A and B are shown apart, each in its own frame.
Chain A
Amino acid sequence: MEKTWNNKAWFMVLPVLVLVAFSAVIPLMTVVNYSVQDTFGNNEFFWAGTDWYVDVLTSDRFWDALTRNLIFSAIILAIEIPLGIIIALNMPKKGLGVPVCLVLMALPLLIPWNVVGTIWQVFGRVDIGLLGRTLEALGINYNYVQNPIDAWVTLIVMDVWHWTSLVVLLCYAGLVSIPDAYYQAAKIDGASRWSVFRYIQLPKMKRVLLIAFLLRFMDSFMIYTEPFVVTGGGPGNSTTFLSIDLVKMAIGQFDLGPAAALSIIYFLIILLLSWIFYTVMTTSDAQS
């Protein structure tokens, strides 16, 4: 079939392009601009080339934060994806239970990030928080302000509580789209519970799982508000993720050059990893 080329079509997308330019491209280019220059104030800038990039990439501070990010995202994905699938599989398919479950699932998603942070910050406090006090009473030594492990556990539990619902809802949408006839055929064919999951449910969830995986990866990799509110990056630097480090650098120390370079690197890492995940997951899909 001949493709028709119509140059007028470009005018149609122009408004969107302008909008995207103002909201994304221009701010991004500003950051790029900062990242290659130096300043001593007075709005005077000097060309710095790739110096800031070299600085950032050779600093331990960057690699430590990046490692923390990667570990955090890996843990989050390893918990939330399977947990989300399990919950979705066990949700009712019809009846009064459906709206009840859906509302319960949606609730955490409706709460703003900083509120979630505040809730858990208070909840986990040893002096007044319900969780902190309870654990204390049970004889478990828990203090997220002083103990790095406790701080991590708190952040992970909080993120699981906040975002597993998203995975659940996406999986559930995939599951309810499976016609009854498939389950009936599976019964006739004598399929086990595992086979039903492996050959009917999982294939139907594959697409939504890809979306869930990418969303949760990007989101957890960019986590900022919750650790900022709950731990402030501490104790020590144990919960200082790239985003927190970035803000410290840019706002706290006003090192615009390195901060801008870090932003660009951060951005490229997310882009690269998302692209890799997407490619790997879609090509494995095409093969199987």
Chain B
Amino acid sequence: MARIDLEHIRHAYGAKPKSENDYALKEVHHEWNDGGAYALLGPSGCGKTTLLNIISGLINPSEGRILFDGKDVTHLSTQDRNIAQVFQFPVIYDTMTVYDNLAFPLRNRHVPETEVDRRVKEIIEMIGLGGWAGKKAQGLTADQKQKISLGRGLVRSDVSAILFDEPLTVIDPEMKWVLRSQIKRLHKQFGFTMVYVTHDQTEALTFADKVVVMYDGQIVQIGTPAELFERPRHTFVGYFIGSPGMNVLPAKIDGSTATIGGETIALNFRPEIKSGAKTELGIRPEFVSIGREGMPVAISKVEDIGRHKIVRARFADQPISIILDEDGEIPAEPRIAFDQKAINIYADSWRVGGEA
């Protein structure tokens, strides 16, 4: 129940960062809307956990400010920020029972015992550990421990925000689905701001209103799943979202044409490119068509994955993936064409050009 502003946050774990590479977070300037559900997506080591820890106050950022509802909380302790966080690895209090584990965050805040009991019972049912309330947490399995960890994050209903750091990794797919929809339900009910870290793009895309993609210590794009798919701002987003990812081909740009190898492709806009930049053309496999017209390709492999086929080919000496309908045919001398509307141009990995 708070809007969270991150103002020019940078963070280095070492004491005296010398170069840009010493920063685990390069520069994050972003606003998380009150009550929003965000998925934070990115490869290992890109700084997702670091960012969450900065929001919750476990780490003080080297530079920048954090505001909750406009109030500067940069120097407030975790306790004073009223945030719940579920960690990547399950943390449980071994010597306590399952019930006491879940009650712990409430009792520490002197919530009346009747209220504690009500909340804990609700959560314990939700995470499917109803029969385990009185058991010592010590002997539980990894996924039960993770559920307790998750439960401790959800048991406080009055928090400003809940940060989830890949909370469902060790949980089996069916239970994952159940827990995910339960988290969604709680989010609707209580309206806390929610940030959900995951490696799994389907999880991110189905879960959140907005997906935040991080790469190498930066937020490279924030958008709806459709935006990420159609207009990746960075070649990394192109690769990372979609399966298979976007084809990114080195291209020479001249006015409103792109040249790949010997082939010239007309664009429907004029990219503005600084001289000397490395230029690339990005096209999703879904928007490449195979037929008798267009540019020649050499097919290397066809993977049939049910609803459609993935064609792996070489085009102008570059590997390229093409998605073909289940009943799509590949002619003897195949040629390909790009859907002009779906072409993105990148200069030094960042998308350029207008929407014209």
Contacts and interface: CB of A to CB of B under 8 A. Distances in A.
**Which range contains the number of A residues in contact with the other chain?**
10 to 19
B96 A188 contact: no
B104 A191 contact: yes
B109 A181 contact: no
A148 to B, nearest CB: 43
Contact of B95 (A189, A192, A203): A203
B192 interface: no
A288 B78 contact: no
A184 B95 contact: no
Contact of A185 (B77, B91, B109): B91
B79 A187 contact: yes
Nearest to B155: A189
A187 B77 contact: yes
B56 interface: yes
Interface in B97-115: 104-105, 108-109
Interface string B77-101: 1110001110111010111100000
A112 interface: no
B11 interface: no
Interface string B10-27: 000000000000000000
A181 B89 CA distance: 8
B33 interface: no
B257 interface: no
Contact of B78 (A179, A187, A200): A187
Nearest to B56: A188
Nearest to B93: A199
Interface residues of B, number: 26
Given A191-B108, A203-B94, A184 B89 contact: no
A253 B87 CA distance: 69
Interface string B179-221: 0000000000000000000000000000000000000000000
B108 A188 contact: no
B234 interface: no
Given A188-B85, A191-B104, 4 more contacts: A184-B91, A195-B108, A199-B93, A199-B104
9 contacts: A181-B89, A185-B152, A187-B77, A188-B58, A189-B108, A190-B105, A191-B104, A195-B108, A203-B93
Interface of B: 53, 56-58, 77-79, 83-85, 87-89, 91, 93-96, 104-105, 108-109, 136, 149, 152-153
Ordered nearest first, which 10 A-B pairs have the shortest CB separation?
A: A190-B108, A185-B91, A189-B105, A187-B78, A199-B93, A188-B85, A203-B95, A184-B58, A181-B91, A181-B87
